[in-house]
Chain A
């Protein structure tokens, strides 16, 4: 087997800005010569900052960047054999196409004849022969894009960095350019590092994907790995559509989530808290009562190739993609093949549930009004005189479409025998001793499982109320 050397290595890279914001932390990556690597993540995840550190526009606060084994951590950008294709192309508007492309070569004092030859060649590569004397403003977005690529490639960089280069193009153009970039990569053999927030683009083009969130690498892997074996709930949610549930292992190859007990193929110790991921195309409809769980169809959307059907099962929602239609209100059963359930060990046992905002702008959950004010939860919001609620951006908050996500840690919930005293009622469906405390799973009457840590021993199947102090809750706005 051929082992290629690493062209670039990022070791424990971190970047904090002057205002203390940590854009990237402990970023480790090795890229092999000729690879097509994509940094994928939502905006603000640190992917562009990482790219800018490789280009030399930002200097890492920590760590080291090695190019061919040599540190280039603090080398200024004009001394790096790396070129960038910018998001909005950054063509020089006061120069024509020839001057734009020749700019880099002129900096290196390349002889005129050679510049001419290379400009012609690279214009040929991007299919824009004869464009030398045109001015930037006469080009379409797609053509500017190609010139930007040509301007970078003409310098024969060791690495080409592309910062969301297709973001400004329309859908059809984008698809075309994806394929073209891919074939250019194969033809030239240059290492590409590509930044995008578009998961489909990343899956289509890359040899290796680096999924990032909040400045940290979530997963590195091939497109197949990332799609089929997401390492955590974030990756599962970000790549493709997913149903994600909190649950617990209830036996050998058995997991309880979404109000049912499913057979699975991941061998994880009983009592472990888990996150289960089910792709919408993997849910199979059955007659009511014949599947693992039952539910009621709440919405059906035709998507051209398939229907997207949402089913309410207890407090849980399952999204299903299927070629067969259904009607809202239909009672259905659902099952999932064991190998289509992807189980991950939950890193965090925090209980998360959604509360409604009632007409008086109080939080309401399970028929109980919580003692807190909505204006404090929604940042910068104000009650207006006409009775509406305005958020920090001055927009009216629609209480029917806004939910408040409440999270509370297991040790902050207390159990009580007097079930009515609790915010939620349910029975103990699982317990496990954790050395100094017991971890309980309470299956609530609403269908959701709550995890509660308690030092005392309670009996299985006891009916309990869960007391959740408002001051221990954390709130987030969901729309």
Chain B
């Protein structure tokens, strides 16, 4: 008789260890660094510092504003696009959707370079409109991430629901408001969570557009450049808290493989 049985469960051990080592441990280390100072002593100075310094608080509010406006602009642009794409009866619909996805396979840095040149041409001096450029840059980068989940959700809606509403006397506008829009909320949520958080943190878009304003991500970047691990960790923790709150508000793991779904 065989004593040891090869078990399928044990296949998960390497990945479980990997997750503990490189997902859990970094979070613990961030925690440790956020609440210690250069001499390794416990301190809450980083925390209180964050919430009392008008600069960091200003950055927090500014990045919330950028993220909020970017998300709204993306939603307003993406929803009609997704709706039109999903409800059209075109034979080449699949190809058209691909056309919207394609830019995502071009490295973002090259795309933002292209945008920068165009904005430069239009505005003359990029530094004149920092907020506008931040929103335009982020929108340009993240728009497909908003279009795709909404498109997927509307496509999957049972067509007979709309037909039933029309059959019961609703016109196109009423059908949209009472049926399609409420049922596409999961797609909207998923799109919002893929735009809002990156828009608070993806500071390299601003950097590339010669933007001197700071968002939350920029703070980590500058602490990193200054080798200040403690300050950077505190910013990371604050971001983590915001991400947690945001994810909970958006209904947990509803986005599942949203980013992956968008890319493939």
Q: Interface on A for B, CB 8 Å cutoff?
A: 74-76, 79
Q: Which residue of chain B has its CB nearest to the CB of A74?
A: B1
Q: Which residue of A lies closest to B5 (CB)?
A: A76
List A contacts of B2 (CB < 8 A). Answer: 75-76, 79
**Complex Cα–Cα for A74 and B1 (A):** 7
In the complex, chain B residues whose CB is within 8 Å of the CB of A76: 2, 5
Complex: A74 Cα to B4 Cα, angstroms: 11
Binding site for A on B (CB under 8 A): 1-2, 5
Q: Quote the shortest CB–CB distance from B4 to chain A (angstroms).
A: 11
Chain B residues, Cβ within 8 Å of A75: 1-2
With A and B bound together, what is the CA distance between A122 and B1 in angstroms? 32
Q: Which of chain B's residues have a CB closer than 8 A to the CB of A79?
A: 2
A422 CB to nearest chain B CB (Å)? 55
Query: When chains A and B are docked, how far (Å) is the Cα of A43 from the Cα of B2?
Result: 33
B5 → chain A closest CB, angstroms: 6
Question: What are 6 A-to-B residue pairs whose CB atoms are below 8 Å?
Answer: A74-B1, A75-B1, A75-B2, A76-B2, A76-B5, A79-B2
A79, B5: Cα distance in complex, Å: 12
The 6 closest A-B pairs by CB, nearest first: A74-B1, A76-B2, A76-B5, A75-B1, A79-B2, A75-B2
Q: How far is the CB of A123 from chain B (nearest CB, A)?
A: 32
Main secondary structure of the interface of B (DSSP, over half): loop
CA distance A76 to B1 in the complex (A): 9
Q: How far apart are the CA atoms of A79 and B2 in the complex, in Å?
A: 10
Rounded to whole angstroms, the CA-CA distance of A141 and B2 in the bound complex is: 37
Report chain A residues within 8 Å CB of B5.
Answer: 76
Q: Complex formed: what's the CA distance from A79 to B6 in Å? A: 14
A73 closest partner in B (C-beta): B1
Closest B-chain residue to A75, C-beta based? B1
CB distance from A394 to the nearest CB of B (A): 19
CB distance from B153 to the nearest CB of A (A): 23
User: Complex: how many Å from CA A75 to CA B5?
Assistant: 10
Q: Give CA–CA (A240, B2) in the complex, Å.
A: 45
Q: Given the complex of chains A and B, what is the CA–CA distance between A74 and B5 in angstroms?
A: 10
User: From residue A323, how far is it (CB to closest CB) to chain B in Å?
Assistant: 47
A76 vs B7: C-alpha distance when bound (angstroms): 11
Provide the bound-state CA to CA distance between A75 and B2, in Å: 7
Instruction: Report the nearest A residue to B2, measured CB to CB.
Output: A76
In whole angstroms, what is the CA distance A76 to B2 when docked?
A: 8
Measured CB to CB, the closest approach of chain B to A74, in angstroms, equals 6
Q: Within the complex, what minimum Cβ distance (angstroms) separates B3 from chain A? A: 9
CB neighbours (8 Å) of B1 from chain A are: 74-75
Bound-state CA distance A126–B5 (Å) is 35
A460 to chain B, nearest CB (A): 66
In the complex, what's the smallest C-beta–C-beta distance from B128 to chain A, in angstroms? 58
**How distant is the Cα of A301 from the Cα of B146 in the complex, in angstroms?**
60
Q: Which residue of B lies closest to A79 (CB)?
A: B2
Q: Which residue of A lies closest to B6 (CB)?
A: A76
Assembled-state Cα–Cα distance A399/B53 (Å):
66
A34 and B5 alpha carbons, distance in the complex (Å): 32
Smallest CB gap from B3: residue in A: A74
Query: Could you tell me the distance between the alpha carbons of A472 and B196 in the complex, rounded to whole angstroms?
Result: 59
Contacts of A74 in B (CB 8 A): 1
Q: In the complex the two chains form, what is the Cα distance from A75 to B1 in whole Å?
A: 6
Task: Name the CB-closest residue of A to B1.
Answer: A74
Give the distance in Å from the alpha carbon of A223 to the alpha carbon of B2 in the complex.
39
A68 to chain B, nearest CB (A): 16
Cα of A79 to Cα of B1 in the assembled complex, Å: 10
CB distance from A58 to the nearest CB of B (A): 13
Report the separation of the CA atoms of residues A468 and B2 in the bound assembly, to the nearest whole angstrom.
Answer: 59
* Distance (whole angstroms) from the CB of B2 to the closest CB of chain A: 6
* Nearest CB in chain B to that of A71: its residue: B1
- Please report the C-alpha to C-alpha distance between residue A115 and residue B115 in the assembled complex, in whole angstroms: 66
| Bound Cα distance A76, B5 (Å) | 8
Nearest chain A CB to B18's CB is how many angstroms away? Answer: 26
Q: Give the Cβ gap from A38 to chain B, nearest Cβ, in Å.
A: 30
Alpha-carbon separation in the docked complex, A186 to B60 (Å): 80
- Give chain B nearest CB distance to A55 CB in angstroms: 15
Closest beta carbon of chain B to A103's beta carbon, Å:
19
Least Cβ–Cβ distance between A446 and chain B, in angstroms: 49
Q: How far apart are B6's CB and chain A's nearest CB, in angstroms? A: 9
Give CA–CA (A74, B2) in the complex, Å: 8
Shortest CB distance A437–B (Å): 54
